Amino acid sequence: MIILKNSMKCHLCCCEKQLIKAHVIPEKFFTPLRSEKKSPILYSNTAGKYPKRSPIGIYDSTILCPECDNYIGIWDNYAQQLLLKEFDESLAVYQGPDKVFYKINSFDYEKLKLFLFLFCGERQSRIIAFSKE
């Protein structure tokens, strides 16, 4: 965890604190994209920005303080355990010959909802802003 020197307003607790260089997309979601010697490539739609390697994801140093980053880790970890596991083929749902998704029969609705709320809310706005830089 990298703590920055300047104090700014944390987007979760709304307190003026030193913010950290936080992952916009949780790091574990990048793990399946990595091969033994290759890292995912980050592309931008901004003129003059060239593709670059992004081995552990995208960071933003303007969104979270260390305490809030640790706090939301509960939901990040839950989503990672739920969504990044190997699924039994009996849970696969097909549209014609194409597998379109896996059905998850049992999960903690509150934890997944909070992860999606944070991911699709503040984090998603940072991904969009990043792609426009």
Give the per-residue pLDDT at 35.
Answer: 63
Q: Which residues contact 100 (CB under 8 A, 6 or more apart)?
A: 93, 94
Strands (E), the chain: 3-9, 16-20, 22-23, 41-42, 52-53, 59-60, 92-95, 98-102
pLDDT below 50 — which residues of the chain?
4, 127-133
Domain layout of the chain by residue ranges: 3-132
Phi and psi torsions of 42, nearest 5°: -100, 125
Question: At 70, which helix (H) or strand (E)?
Answer: helix 66-83
Give the per-residue pLDDT at 55.
Answer: 67
Do residues 127 and 24 touch, judged by C-beta distance below 8 A? yes
Give the per-residue pLDDT at 48.
Answer: 86
Strands (E), 21-97: 22-23, 41-42, 52-53, 59-60, 92-95
* DSSP at 88: P
